[in-house]
Structure 1
Amino acid sequence: MASIDTLADRLLTYLAPDQVNLVRRAYYYAEQAHDGQRRRSGEPYVTHPLAVANILADMHMDHQSLMAAMLHDVIEDTGIPKEALVEQFGETVAELVDGVSKLTQMKFENKAEAQAENFQKMAMAMARDIRVILVKLADRLHNMRTLDAMPYEKSRRIAKETLEIYAPIANRLGMHSMRVEFEDLGFKAMHPMRSARIRQAVRRARGNRKEIVTKIEQSLVACLEREGLDGDVKGREKHLYSIYKKMRGKRKAFNEIMDVYAFRIVVDKVDTCYRVLGAVHNLYKPLPGRFKDYIAIPKANGYQSLHTTLFGMHGVPIEIQIRTREMEELANNGIAAHWLYKSGDEDPIKGNHARARQWVKGVLELQQSAGNSLEFIESVKIDLFPDEVYVFTPKGRIMELQKGSTAVDFAYAVHTDIGNSCIACRINRRLAPLSQPLESGSTVEIVTAPGARPNPAWLNFVVTAKARTHIRHALKQQRRSESISLGERLLNKVLAGFDASLEQIPAERIRQVLDEYRMEVFEDLLEDIGLGNRMAYVVARRLLASEGEEIPSAEGPLAIRGTEGLVLSYARCCSPIPGDPIVGHLSAGKGMVVHLENCRNIGEIRHNPEKCIPLTWSKDVSGEFNVELRIELEHQRGLIALLAGSVNAADGNIEKIGMDERDGRTSVVQLVVSVKDRIHLARVIKKLRALKGVIRITRVRA
């Protein structure tokens, strides 16, 4: 087992002696702090922090990360306060330890919420210093390596969390080696039998394939030598979890997956990558559509490489990855490679670090907009499993989005305000539906309009976490402001019946009522009234209670403008339109639903002032309203076209049409038409009546 001396010797190969001594000091401090504590396996507890530091040393991490690894459990497990660590090791190390410290367990309704809350805190810590997540990943990796000591249920839960959150984070930060180990260890803990079976099958297949692998490798090496190109060729093993995922996802047999031979060619510089690509394409025929250039357009996690698939000898498919040594290092250690090359000016590395920061910043934005921790973790999970498409802005900037993304996802990726005010899009200079999935290489242009708002229907087709979270956030805000506005009108209506208004009620009386209802601000109370959760006249009575008088019912009905938005809807059972006599039914959480005065669905509560309030249409009501008509007519050719032509001639619009043939001579047509008011509806009916063969037209109500 590794000791602090062995670790110190390894560290001296890339750290200064005084930095190595600081890591030693942190080890001895942790050893004293954890004195007497043991792991489940029976070993002294300090072996765990030492193992975590060793994992970080493999990645050549800086001395502060290694110190934080030594001390990462001190705050929580030994009761030593953060201040003591600041005094001993400085602010930076203490901050790292605090960020990594097992996040304080709070009381939650369920495990999912606890996990979500912890992840939220981890995101906050990552934003302050990205090294927090690297230490956290190393900590989790050692826990996964020693999972056998855990009870079965607990080990399954930890493995599931690792596969769902930690492996994708390692992938997002470009840390391939760590991700592979997370996935294989998690797979083994979740499905021990399947893992063992696939491991045996791989071992058998490897023995049978040895000869052909050697032949292909020799032909690739000979090809590079002929062309005078310098590169290392090595066979690439598929890891167990990726084989399992392919077998499940693509419904393929094990033999079909193992039929593909994979090789990696590592060269000295980018220019050579493309020359090697030309050479191997000359050696074996490439498979059309299987070439990917991740050097020109790197993946989200900074991964760079050329991928191609060839028809090898005997028609065997060969997958080849071509990359430089820096790219290889970056592919394996991802963002951790940033510290390895910190002294030099390595562009790809810096780009990778910037990408990781960008991602963390995005995670933080999601956290601020998400309604709760579970909604947040759901969004992050979506964001952690991207399959990218690359599109261009009109100015030629490359935007990278998840597979299946639409123009709305693109708009939010550019800027939240562009997403919120988006009304249309052009894909490759042609107008296209906002819901159309984007394809790599398309140029996308967003058309915006001031005052435009997100449409709730967008939630049915957006795929990126950022778009989904911001649409939900904007709709919540919109709903709140509309609820407050309606609540204020309803309350003022009731107060007017008592010759009072909100302006006349003293602030201290409002405060008293808010305290009674346990609310912070008056807007919350107005929102509750607008949403139908509280009755305006009950609130008015409380506000005027000090006057000691009973409140009569409000004078006259409330006027409806049609612009109230999400908190006012029209009942589908009776489809009211301007000009109809109407009442408002206050439905908890939905706001006000407008019904016809004689609608049967509200017959029982019609005269209950707590549930229904009289309404009238405002003079300047705007919008279009749907009405269902039932038309009986003689059957004839081109019937639908005739009806559509008549509705169109009266400036109406058909929303829906259905036909029910009664007998050979007569037909019944159900027509949903959008009109402005009753006068407009009368015009539409008059045009329809003028058609030859129309027997009867009735308006369908509840």
Structure 2
Amino acid sequence: MVQVRASQPVNDDGSLNLDAWLDHMLALDPALERDGLRAACEYARDVEQQAIAQKNIWAEGNSSFRTGLEIAEILADLKLDQDSLVAAVIYRAVREDKVSLAAVQERFGPVVGKLIKGVLRMAAISNSVNPRDSLVLGSQAQVENLRKMLVAMVDDVRVALIKLAERTCAIREVKDADEEKRHRVAREVFDIYAPLAHRLGIGHIKWELEDLSFRYLEPEQYKQIAKLLHERRLDRQQYISDVMQQLRDELNAAGIKADISGRAKHIYSIWRKMQKKGLEFSQIYDVRAVRVLVPEVRDCYTTLGIVHSLWRHIPREFDDYIANPKENGYRSLHTAVLGPEGKVLEVQIRTHGMHEEAELGVCAHWKYKGTDVKGNSNHYEEKMAWLRQVLEWHEELGDIGGLAEQLKVDIEPDRVYVFTPDGHAIDLPKGATPLDFAYRVHTQIGHNCRGAKINGRIVPLTYSLHTGDQVAIITGKNGAPSRDWLNSNLGYVTTSRARAKIVHWFKQQDREQNVAAGKQMLERELARLAMPPVDFNKLAEKCNLKSAEDLYAALGAGDLRLAPTVNQAQQLVEPDRSSEQLELIPRKPSSRPGRHDDVQILGVGNLLTQMAGCCQPLPGDPIIGYITVGRGVTIHRQDCPTALQLVEREAHRMIQVSWGSTPVQTYPVDILVRAYDRSGLLRDVSQVLLNEKINVLAVNTRSNKEDNTAAMRLTIEIPGLEALGRLLARISQLPNVIETRRERGSKDV
């Protein structure tokens, strides 16, 4: 839940009581030097008073001096060193041009100056995040700013920690700001800094950043969950107190010295679990939770046995993160039991050292001047290695999408742990394939990959890996990547690292080869989807390229993805010729009565929506809403020229919208599958349709005995063009299939 910050001590006249504040800081960390910290505070206070005297009031309406003290408090709680706290106290004064960096460096030394300079470089990203968009929709300037941010963190992790603390203060301060600023800061914090806090293992900062961001990005959902928590707080507190006392008595009887506390469940965590698992609030197991801290690892498992002897364990609700730590180093035992009165209760069990790591993360292990501040700094080294990997992949990928994807994918708790033939464990995101594994092991193994064995059995390269699989990659001597690996519809790779390596390989190939390959890919896909003729030069302009040849080269090299390019081609279809329009005619609404959630409007209840005729958005297209007068909300594509004009003229009437989590409107389409006849062909096609969750309305199969071929015509229901392209690509991979395409002249066009 959102933390409430303590007020700074003040004198009777309202000024800061600096001595009381310093007492508080030394209580947090007795290793701090009182005189040095006092000098920094007095310096920051003096430069601010000079700025006020010169009518140079701080830009954001907040005292840079008071904000600097708050940043320092956060860092002292994280046990950072003296230089970090001095830099934190002075940083906002430098950022707001109340004092020069050179003056600070001369007064407090090069280390403090370097830290402030690094945080200033990271601050550049704050100026480039679009308040309406996620970071994934960023520009080239954002790419450069993120690169600078990562370089700064790799040079000295203290820079990242100061910036995290500063952004924590920033999102606390926007409570009374205007809606646009709240949304901008929350979007930036949620997209960048909360994932980084998680990756660095700083649990309590991560939770606060997520909760506050969620509060401003989804205010209605936040208030709903907060209300439900408040309504049950008194009963829950009494219940937790009784549970803690019962558990404390049992542990004392067993001779285990334990610190037991009630653990608050964070609002964003509750909402995320409800969304991910489709649960009601009453079904969230860990709203009632206790945390047990014990001296030794063996005490953790003894305590677990006592908990399970007191209350019945709920099946499949146990996680041993001590034997299998999370990727950010988190270690603990989690179990859910039916506690007193039959109520579900979560219990977390860990040692005091594990708890310190969970709360402080990388701060519990960081090194300076070649000496260990604390023993066992492996987790710190792993985190720095991760940051360097992200930077390396970013250099090769060259676009913000892969980098933001890596930042976000890496915080997902669902990971798979697989083994090399030598028994080394490798963790990958859930859904990773053998190709992802191959590129994770070594780039050349990925390039040369020709097949894979899982537990000794040959599997397709699109196979989804599972925890415990032993993976052996079959390589060729002179192998090279296939362009099909970049086709997201075929599912060969899922990680940004593998995609970056493949794209980098194709970028190094001859341009003529890329042009030929890209032209073949595009023409084949347009023919498969039965699209009318497209002017490729106009399509190139729409993709911000100079000519059709540049378009082909970009597709062939992997700089452009096929599916978005096809979507752009769709927009070039003449709107006046209904017989050649590409958009799909939906089935009658009566086929699914009572469903109106094709489009979700953020923070608003059910409103009348209609699709704009100028751009005709389909499910999967990026969209934006325009509030009309008397006709509800009109849904446009985000790149629609009409929508872009409306944003400039009437920005106050534009709202964020998104497609429903599961599209409810489907579209009938006729497709043709031609293949050399064989037994099991219909079964294999049906299996692909089943895997893609496609409903079949009609099937007609004819065999030609003269050339031993079979033609299958199917009428299917699909949610959009992207699903159609993916389905045709998957069917074309089946043995003996000659071609798959959408039928021209069918009832859906």
TM-score (norm 2): 0.63
C-alpha deviations, 1:273-326, integer Å up to 9, x for none?
122122222333333333222112211111001122223345433322110001
Determine if the alignment matches structure 1 residue 57 to structure 2 residue 88. no
SS of 1:155 mapped into structure 2: helix
* Pairing of 1:265-664 with structure 2 (within 5 A): 265-338=292-365, 345-347=374-376, 350-459=377-486, 460=488, 461=491, 462-477=493-508, 481-483=509-511, 531=515, 588=549, 589-590=551-552, 640-641=677-678, 661=702
Structure 2 CA distance for aligned equivalents of residues 234 and 160 of structure 1: 33
Alignment CA distance shift 1:267-1:110 (3 Å): closer
Q: What RMSD over aligned residues (CA atoms) do the two structures have, in Å?
A: 3.9
Residue 339 of structure 1: how far off its partner (Å): 5.5
Contact 2:28-2:76 within 8 A present in 1 as well = no
Residue 587 of structure 1: how far off its partner (Å): 5.2
1:44 aligns with: 63
Residue 182 of structure 1: how far off its partner (Å): 0.9
SS of 2:259 mapped into structure 1: strand
Alignment CA distance shift 1:340-1:242 (3 Å): farther
Aligned match for 2:91, one of 62, 72, 75: 72
1:178 aligns with: 205
Residue 115 of structure 1: how far off its partner (Å): 4.6
Structure 2 CA distance for aligned equivalents of residues 368 and 307 of structure 1: 39
C-alpha deviations, 1:391-437, integer Å up to 9, x for none?
22222222222122222222222233322322222222222222211
SS of 1:61 mapped into structure 2: coil
Q: 1:590 corresponds to which letter in structure 2?
A: Y
Alignment CA distance shift 1:440-1:7 (3 Å): farther
C-alpha deviations, 1:366-396, integer Å up to 9, x for none?
2211223454334433334352222222222
Q: 2:63 corresponds to which letter in structure 1?
A: P
Alignment CA distance shift 1:333-1:345 (3 Å): closer
Contact 1:380-1:465 within 8 A present in 2 as well = no
Contact 2:67-2:92 within 8 A present in 1 as well = no
Contact 2:29-2:76 within 8 A present in 1 as well = no
Alignment CA distance shift 1:55-1:315 (3 Å): same
Identity of aligned residues (%): 34
Structure 1 CA distance for aligned equivalents of residues 300 and 207 of structure 2: 25
1:23 aligns with: 37
Contact 1:205-1:258 within 8 A present in 2 as well = no
Structure 2 CA distance for aligned equivalents of residues 471 and 326 of structure 1: 42
2:162 aligns with: 135
Structure 1 CA distance for aligned equivalents of residues 701 and 117 of structure 2: 70
Alignment CA distance shift 1:312-1:671 (3 Å): same
Determine if the alignment matches structure 1 residue 255 to structure 2 residue 279. no
C-alpha deviations, 1:421-463, integer Å up to 9, x for none?
2222222222222221111122222223333222333342333
Determine if the alignment matches structure 1 residue 220 to structure 2 residue 247. yes
C-alpha deviations, 1:72-115, integer Å up to 9, x for none?
23444217554444333333222211111164489979673255
Structure 1 CA distance for aligned equivalents of residues 309 and 128 of structure 2: 62
C-alpha deviations, 1:606-650, integer Å up to 9, x for none?
xxxxxxxxxxxxxxxxxxxxxx9999xxxxxxx935999xxxxxx
2:257 aligns with: 230
SS of 1:441 mapped into structure 2: coil
TM-score (norm 1): 0.67
Structure 2 CA distance for aligned equivalents of residues 193 and 107 of structure 1: 27
Q: 1:99 corresponds to which letter in structure 2?
A: G
Q: 2:495 corresponds to which letter in structure 1?
A: T
Alignment CA distance shift 1:27-1:590 (3 Å): same
Alignment CA distance shift 1:105-1:436 (3 Å): closer
SS of 1:308 mapped into structure 2: strand
2:267 aligns with: 240
Q: 2:378 corresponds to which letter in structure 1?
A: G
C-alpha deviations, 1:117-166, integer Å up to 9, x for none?
43332111111111111000000001111112321111111112212221
Structure 2 CA distance for aligned equivalents of residues 373 and 592 of structure 1: 17
Structure 1 residue runs of 5 or longer lacking an equivalent are: 487-529, 532-563, 576-584, 594-627, 632-638, 645-657, 673-702
Structure 1 CA distance for aligned equivalents of residues 60 and 680 of structure 2: 80
SS of 2:292 mapped into structure 1: strand
Structure 1 CA distance for aligned equivalents of residues 387 and 303 of structure 2: 36
Contact 1:291-1:308 within 8 A present in 2 as well = yes
Contact 1:659-1:669 within 8 A present in 2 as well = no
1:126 aligns with: 153
Q: Which range moved further: 235-244 or 375-384?
A: 375-384
Q: 1:232 corresponds to which letter in structure 2?
A: D
SS of 1:300 mapped into structure 2: coil
Q: 1:90 corresponds to which letter in structure 2?
A: G
Structure 1 CA distance for aligned equivalents of residues 438 and 215 of structure 2: 41
Determine if the alignment matches structure 1 residue 98 to structure 2 residue 117. yes
Structure 1 CA distance for aligned equivalents of residues 249 and 110 of structure 2: 56
SS of 1:322 mapped into structure 2: strand
Alignment CA distance shift 1:420-1:67 (3 Å): farther
C-alpha deviations, 1:11-40, integer Å up to 9, x for none?
445768884433333333333444325457
Residue 569 of structure 1: how far off its partner (Å): 7.1
SS of 1:46 mapped into structure 2: helix
Residue 197 of structure 1: how far off its partner (Å): 2.9
* Pairing of 1:192-203 with structure 2 (within 5 A): 192-203=219-230
The total of aligned residue pairs comes to 527
Structure 2 CA distance for aligned equivalents of residues 430 and 643 of structure 1: 22
Alignment CA distance shift 1:411-1:207 (3 Å): same
SS of 1:590 mapped into structure 2: helix
Contact 1:117-1:373 within 8 A present in 2 as well = no
Alignment CA distance shift 1:256-1:90 (3 Å): same
Alignment CA distance shift 1:284-1:106 (3 Å): closer
Contact 1:482-1:565 within 8 A present in 2 as well = no
- Asked which structure has the greater CA Rg, the reply is 1
Contact 2:417-2:468 within 8 A present in 1 as well = yes
